[in-house]
Chains A and B, each alone.
Chain A
Amino acid sequence: MSTINFANREINFKIVYYGPGLSGKTTNLKWIYGKIPEGRKGEMVSLATEDERTLFFDFLPLDLGEVKGFKTRFHLYTVPGQVFYNASRKLILRGVDGIVFVADSAPNRLRANAESMRNMRENLAEYGLKVEDLPVVLQINKRDLPDALPVEMVRAVVDPEGRFPVFEAVATEGKGVFETLKEVSRLVLARVGSGA
């Protein structure tokens, strides 16, 4: 649920980038950070290991601007993708308003995608949430890999019912990055005031 601060006239939304290890969650945030003009973004915080693997989370605040007198802000988070970091991954999901699931196109990561989605369902369930209750956008990343699997095949394992909007991406080149963020933002905003 969005946090609304009436005194400062601020509405804050929390968007979490989820997905298996090395699928490109941090790369998404870094691209966004690099492209958003000064004044519309805060500092990016990364808690990473020496080899730049996310250890706890990355964090990036974005200012959308003022809407009907309310400053509207998105807080973007990534989770650490590695399987054994589940305890901290679960913490980041607390209070989430929308999710971007970043799936990897590599053939040998297909199972990791499925595993990560299953893990996300389990972690949300601990907060009493279902994936179906939240705005979720699926980003199929690394489309530039020579042996990238067909989009439909990746989608079939993480979203067999074809429920989520899908975007193809090459996050290292920024392809699909803004499109994904815009869609999840749109979905999150659509729930404001609609009683959800």
Chain B
Amino acid sequence: MVEPSLVLYGGPYERAMDVLEETLRETGARYALFIDRKGFVLAHKEALWAPKPPPLDSLATLVAGNAAATQALAKLLGEARFQEVVHQGERMGLYVDEAGEHALLVLVFDENAPLGKVKLYGKRAAEALARLAEEAMANPPKLNLDTQYREEAKALLDELFGN
């Protein structure tokens, strides 16, 4: 298929959550997401004090689209990639770094999080997540989805879209 799908569960998933949690603590960021390059959220963590985040699907999709465009730009300029990207607004900021070939780390932070810390710990977290992603790619889980899954899914399709 197009590219190997990144699947995260069990041990690697728990460790990814730990990395995200620690990164939130060290940086003071609001939300930390681990997403694949297709824009699907693999794991996410919100700081307890932070307000409700915007829709994470939208966030992940836009970040992935943005990252894809940025990488295409890099290639046009003869670079394999650009380093991490920081978008800085008046109050809110966004840090995006590659976590290996197939995934991205996203940190959303406000003015209370020092940018230096976001970059320093963001980079470390991205490296740790890249290793987890590699591990997950190397050991894809067995998919035990059978015809029963397909039948049930079909029934839901009928329910949602009508016959």
Using CB atoms and an 8 Å cutoff, list the residues of chain A in contact with chain B: 1-7, 11-12, 14, 36, 40, 42-43, 45, 47, 56-57, 59, 61-62, 64-65, 67-68, 70, 72, 75, 87-88, 91-96, 127-129, 133, 178-179, 181-182, 185-186, 189-190, 192-193, 196
> Once the chains bind, are A43 and B160 in contact (CB under 8 Å)?
no
Which of chain B's residues 113-163 have a Cβ closer than 8 Å to chain A?
A: 141, 143-150, 152-154, 156-157, 159-162
The interface stretch among B19-27, B33-41, B79-87, B88-96 is B33-41
> Once the chains bind, are A91 and B68 in contact (CB under 8 Å)?
yes
Minimum C-beta distance from A133 to chain B (A): 8
Of B4, B13, B141, B150, the contact of A193 (CB 8 Å cutoff): B150
Q: Which residue of B lies closest to A62 (CB)?
A: B160
> Once the chains bind, are A45 and B38 in contact (CB under 8 Å)?
no
> Once the chains bind, are B40 and A45 in contact (CB under 8 Å)?
no
* A178–B160 alpha-carbon span in the complex (Å): 9
Could you list 18 further interchain pairs (A-B, Cβ under 8 angstroms) beyond the known A45-B61, A95-B38? A3-B5, A5-B40, A6-B8, A7-B10, A7-B13, A59-B39, A59-B57, A65-B160, A67-B149, A68-B149, A68-B152, A92-B65, A94-B2, A94-B38, A95-B37, A189-B154, A192-B145, A193-B149
Task: Collect the chain B residues with CB atoms within 8 Å of residue A6's CB.
Answer: 7-10, 13, 141
* A12–B35 alpha-carbon span in the complex (Å): 13
Task: Collect the chain A residues with CB atoms within 8 Å of residue B161's CB.
Answer: 178-179, 181-182, 185
Task: Collect the chain B residues with CB atoms within 8 Å of residue A93's CB.
Answer: 2
Q: Does B112 contact A (CB under 8 A)?
A: no
* A6–B10 alpha-carbon span in the complex (Å): 8
Q: Does B48 contact A (CB under 8 A)?
A: no
* A173–B51 alpha-carbon span in the complex (Å): 40
* A75–B4 alpha-carbon span in the complex (Å): 18
Of B5, B69, B145, B160, the contact of A36 (CB 8 Å cutoff): B160
> Once the chains bind, are A3 and B149 in contact (CB under 8 Å)?
no
* A68–B149 alpha-carbon span in the complex (Å): 6
Task: Collect the chain B residues with CB atoms within 8 Å of residue A182's CB.
Answer: 157, 161
> Once the chains bind, are B62 and A2 in contact (CB under 8 Å)?
no
> Once the chains bind, are A42 and B57 in contact (CB under 8 Å)?
yes
> Once the chains bind, are B153 and A4 in contact (CB under 8 Å)?
no
Kindly name the residue among A5, A42, A64, A93 whose own CB sees the greatest number of chain B CB atoms within 10 A: A5
Q: Identify the 5 closest CB pairs spanning chains A and B, nearest first.
A: A6-B9, A193-B145, A95-B38, A1-B1, A7-B13
Of A43, A87, A88, the contact of B57 (CB 8 Å cutoff): A43
Task: Collect the chain A residues with CB atoms within 8 Å of residue B47's CB.
Answer: none
* A59–B55 alpha-carbon span in the complex (Å): 12
Can you list 14 A-B pairs with a CB-CB distance of less than 8 A?
A: A3-B5, A4-B141, A6-B10, A45-B58, A45-B62, A56-B65, A70-B149, A72-B156, A88-B69, A92-B65, A94-B68, A95-B3, A178-B162, A193-B143
> Once the chains bind, are A186 and B154 in contact (CB under 8 Å)?
yes
> Once the chains bind, are A75 and B152 in contact (CB under 8 Å)?
no
> Once the chains bind, are B65 and A91 in contact (CB under 8 Å)?
yes
Q: Which residue of A lies closest to B6 (CB)?
A: A3
Given contacts A7-B8, A178-B162, contact A193 B154 (CB under 8 A): no
Task: Collect the chain B residues with CB atoms within 8 Å of residue A40's CB.
Answer: 160
* A160–B41 alpha-carbon span in the complex (Å): 39
